[in-house]
Amino acid sequence: MSISKHSINDFILFAVYSFAENNKKCTFQQLIKECFSLFPEVFCFSEYPNWPDARKLDRPLRALRKKKFIKGNPQTSFTLTPSGKKVAQEIAKTLCQKKLL
């Protein structure tokens, strides 16, 4: 997947969206795993590229909640709001188009 024109917030929204589309609960641990699996170069430790860095999700998750794109918290789970779903669908379209090229 091409990542050049997307922000870390976009990747997180896309990951939460993928859980929703598969009717799965998006816990914080699962979100870390999914983000790292999809975008390892973005969500890894700089010195240990084979390991996910959960700290990279902290501020973006707060920003996404503040924008009212997601609901939830690390102790429970995360879901998309209606506006977050719209944005995530657009992100998914662009990421999937790039994947096909």
What is the number of structural domains in the chain? 1
Residue corresponding to tokens 């794109």: 69
Average the pLDDT over 4-12 and give the result.
89
Percent of the chain surpassing pLDDT 90 = 86
Over residues 43-84, the pLDDT tens digits come to 999 999 999 999 999 999 999 999 999 999 999 999 999 999
H/E segment holding residue 18: helix 8-21
pTM for the whole structure: 0.89
Residue 58, domain extent: 8-100
| Token pair in block for residue 67 | 């924008």
Residue 88 to residues 8, 19, 26, 46, 75: CA-CA distances in angstroms? 12, 12, 15, 27, 23
40 Cα distance to chain centroid: 12
Hey, CA dihedral for 10, 13, 18, 21, is it positive or negative?
Answer: negative
In a domain, 17, yes or no: yes
In a domain, 41, yes or no: yes
Residue 78: give its domain's CATH number: 1.10.10.10
